[in-house]
Amino acid sequence: MGDEIQQVKDKTDIVTLISGYVPLKKSGRNYKGVCPFHSEKTPSFMVSPDLQIFKCFGCGEGGDVFKFIMRRSGLEFREALEELAEKAGVSLKKAEVASPEDKRRERIFSANEYACQFYHFLLTSHEAGKPALSYLKQKRQLGLETIKKFRLGYAPNSFDALTNFLTKKGFSNSEILEAGLAIRSERNSSIFDRFRARVIFPLIDVRSRVVGFTGRVVTDIPDAPKYLNSPETPVFSKSRFLFGLNFARPAIKRSGRVILVEGQVDLISNVQAGIENVVATSGTALTPEQVIILGKLSREIIFCFDADSAGQKALERGVELCEAASLLSLVSAIPEGAKDPDDAVTKFNSEWKKSLEEPVTFYDYYFDLHTKGVLKSDSLGKRRATEKLLPLVARMTDATQRSHFIKKLSQSLDLDEKFVQEALTQLGKKVETLGATHKPFSWQQISTLKGAQRGELLRKYLLCLTLRFNFDLAKKTLGKILQKDYINSPLSPILMGAKEAFSKHQRAFKIKVIRGALEPSLQSVFDELLLFDLGEMETDLETQEHEMEFVLKEIKRETLRADVSELLSKIRSAEEAGNSKELREYQEKLNIIYQKLKV
């Protein structure tokens, strides 16, 4: 197994792999891009071709090719290994013994599958499910073929129907609880069914495995939520799941676009109408993890969210996430008279399909939404529209796009273009960009610190510069660093490893040589040193030399300050002991250090 893992790693270049998901730009020895794991505008995601690792200095995610694919696609290690092995052309031996974690997950998948069969049987073939079946067929206008395709079901109004069924199938109470299919009673140790008197929507992953369920009430139940979802389990993460993806992938590949809706019924009714490249967020706000999955499918996302205020807020947030991931956000507006995509496809079928074929950019949609009906004499309407639209224009980074919408805003609201420009200038001083700003690791950061924290960051910075810059310059600088300069520092082993490696080599060598000799706990620190974004300095030899000399000088001063503290302590001891000879010796040394600190 170990040989197979190494073989896959050797045949998988991390820069090539990640470039397939994230646009990367060369930055010195490394590559830089916008992190695919959290929302940001300023790139803080670094990739090292030397170490074959990645690190985001915004959210902290990091690792090798396996960790990237696991995080990117929500896979277990074995699944990531299989995916990369296939790409690399490496044949894997079949796993002979399943791990305890694999066995645990398989039991949950099995319990979910039995539950799905149980619910589906009750809906389609049992007297208890007739009211729910009637609701789906008549009110929701879903055909029996569609109901079977999505394996819809019905959970009876019983506290133990599913629990008893699963117990007979050999599942323990703890397994039923871990699958999220039951809840433990607060009064005793008994368990009861989570889903009761609800239409059931099975949540099925791309490998056709049932990972969880959503239940919708059919009749009003006091204090009961309209929708109820499975909790987080070892096989289900709500933030990483997209409903309908198991069916939609081929159609998305053909069309080159993903249609994104909110609810399960929105999706099912559209699929029934022949619209296949659609997935749903399952009634929750779009998450960064879901955006990552969408970006893997297509670079164009058509938003079809509900027409109410909640739907519009979800749209705005979703577009921000997609923009941060460099995805094109398009919108197909819900037709007037419809409230959601289910309503749209049912009542306005041809109009809706045309809207899906001809979506507009989010910006065009948003501008039309807020300028429509505003009269030239309506000063209050103009003010409200500009308050909504100016922040949108302010965050546009493309000059052509920005100019286009400045002109559009001016013309739509009959405003002077110079006024719009001035308003944007004022707003630009206040507007916040999405995500955390990542600043290159540099002297500007160090200068704000004091004491031990400052000294340790200086040492870290110098090692970062030494390991990254010109070989001869680095070797020369390392020769000037004494072990004393890094005494009591956790970075000392890295320094000594670097000094030894550079002394043995007369020319540039693979940096992995130093990393391989370190303890595992220090390898992650070493990785950070190799991945810090140093900006343009990485290509400017003159700046490199100046920076290294400056930081080395500051470290030497830190060492001298530590010597001062030590000597002052010795002077106090000599005074208390009345040892005049030692006292004079220490004072002479102290004066020499003070003179050096003045330079």
Task: Give the domain 100-236 fold.
Answer: DNA primase DNAg catalytic core, N-terminal domain (3.90.980)
Q: How far apart are CA 262 and CA 214, in angstroms?
A: 13
Instruction: Output the 3-class SS for 270-312.
Output: HHHCCCCCEEECCCCCCCHHHHHHHHHHCCEEEECCCCCHHHH
Gap between the Cα atoms of 529 and 467, Å rounded: 8
Contacts for 343 with CB less than 8 Å, ≥ 6 apart: 334
* 106/175 Cα distance (integer angstroms): 11
Tell whether the model's pLDDT for residue 480 goes beyond 90: no
Return the closest-CA partner of residue 260 out of 346, 362, 349, 396.
362
Give the pLDDT score at 451.
Answer: 57
Read out DSSP for 113-169?
A: HHHHHHHHHHHHHSGGGHHHHHIIIIIS---HHHHHHTT-EEE-S-SSHHHHHHHHT
Residue 74: predicted pLDDT: 67
Q: How would DSSP label each residue in 498-540?
A: HHHHHHH-SS---THHHHHTS-HHHHHHHHHHHH---GGGGG-
- The reported pLDDT for the residue numbered 239 is 87
Distances (CA, A) of 187 to 172, 184, 192, 195, 487: 20, 9, 12, 19, 60
pTM, to two decimals:
0.62
Given this model, what pLDDT does residue 452 score?
Answer: 64
Going by pLDDT thresholds of 50, 70 and 90, the confidence category of residue 593 is confident
- In this predicted model, which residue has the larger pLDDT, 411 or 358? 358
Q: Give the pLDDT confidence score for residue 248 in this predicted structure.
A: 93
**Does residue 437 surpass a pLDDT of 60?**
no
- CA distance linking residue 356 with residue 352, whole number of Å: 6
**Across 330-339, average pLDDT:** 93
CATH of domain 2-88: 3.90.580.10
- Strand 153-155 and strand 360-361: pairing? unpaired
Q: For position 1, what pLDDT does the model report?
A: 57
Neighbours of 128 (CB within 10 A): 15
Nearest Cα to Cα of residue 284 among 328, 237, 224, 248: 237
Task: Please write the tens of the pLDDT for every residue from 254-295.
Answer: 898 999 999 999 999 999 999 999 999 986 789 888 888 888
Give the mean pLDDT of 575-579: 87
Domain at 254-263+279-358, CATH from 3.20.20.80, 3.20.20.70, 3.40.1360.10, 3.90.400.10: 3.40.1360.10
Q: Where are the domains of the chain?
A: 2-88, 100-236, 254-263+279-358, 381-428, 443-598
pLDDT surpassing 70 at residue 440 = no
Give per-residue pLDDT as tens, 442-465: 444 555 545 566 777 888 888 888
Which pLDDT does position 533 carry in this prediction?
73
pLDDT in tens, 197-251: 999 999 999 889 999 999 999 876 777 889 999 999 999 999 889 999 999 988 9
Mean pLDDT over each residue of the chain, to the nearest integer: 86
- Answer yes or no: is pLDDT of 432 > 70: no
pLDDT value, residue 293 = 86
Highest mean pLDDT among 3-7, 340-344, 543-547, 587-591: 340-344
Among the listed ranges 74-83, 94-103, 464-473, which one has the minimum average pLDDT value?
94-103
